[in-house]
Amino acid sequence: MTDRVRIGVQLQPQHADYAAIRRAAAAVDELGADVLFNWDHFYPLYGEPEGKHFECWTMLAAWAEATERVEIGALVTCNSYRNPQLLADMARTVDHISARDGGGGRLVLGIGSGWFEKDYDEYSYEFGTAGGRLRALSRDLPIIKQRWEKLNPAPTRQIPILIGGGGEKKTLRIVAEHAHIWHSFGDADTFTRKSRILAEHCADVGRDSAEIERSIGVDADNLQQDTESKHAAGARLFTLGVGGPDYDLGAVRELIAWRDQQNG
């Protein structure tokens, strides 16, 4: 893991027409953000519960064509919604679509165990228990990686795996075993404690904790103080959520300027 700061933007795919989402994605790419995320849900998470909403992975394939430089991914894919073999193939395909001029692809496989019960109920997935969903995630990640080794053509690069979540006994253990990026939630103190626990899990599995990039969401209403406190705590990928239908990118510009100052 380098010490360089990176900026992520989560364009929330709700309450907007796709044309507005596409314009925002292209603008994020042009501004120079490092990673462009959507999310993997079927209904809005806030606002009108039956409002406009679009599916995650078909959108990522479109973004792979509509952007040139920014990495793309879900924050995060719900492991429950797709067979892991299929998900691996989808990720490999988007990886290739996103490649430019003979270079590697730009996909980040962001993944988590799932939590939004309405999605499960409306689309007839079994919600089960939090523990059961975490066990499924732990089971499926090796399957995804094994399928990548079998696909022809292979992925253009080692696809980075981002795991989102903060469960201290199970989720962070899965992060230690499989992730290149860990995405956390909460304030700097919470991040510090959980990052320390992640390091303990890494030691248990024989892995250098510094290999895992620390990622966290930041608060647009308290942007400078929130970002700087989390940077001091060791976070290096900072993601700002931007909602529709207008997708105001003013705070994104501020974060990118701050990143450039930090990276010199």
On whether residue 199 sits in a domain, the answer given is yes
What is the token pair recorded at 79?
A: 């492991």
On whether residue 158 sits in a domain, the answer given is yes
Residues of the chain with pLDDT under 70: 1
The predicted pLDDT at position 1 comes to 60
Amino acid at 185: F
Asked whether the bond before 245 is cis by omega within 30 degrees of 0, the reply is yes
What is the token pair recorded at 177?
A: 């075993």
The predicted pLDDT at position 55 comes to 98
The predicted pLDDT at position 102 comes to 78
Q: Structural domain of residue 193, as residue ranges?
A: 6-263
Q: Is the pTM of this model over 0.95?
A: yes
The closest alpha carbon to 247, from 26, 49, 76, belongs to: 26
The predicted pLDDT at position 71 comes to 98
The predicted pLDDT at position 101 comes to 84
Measured distance CA(74)–CA(93) in Å, rounded = 15
On whether residue 1 sits in a domain, the answer given is no
- Reported residue count of the chain is 264
Number of domains in the chain: 1
What's the CATH code of the domain at 235? 3.20.20.30
What is the token pair recorded at 135?
A: 């066990």
On whether residue 162 sits in a domain, the answer given is yes
On whether residue 75 sits in a domain, the answer given is yes
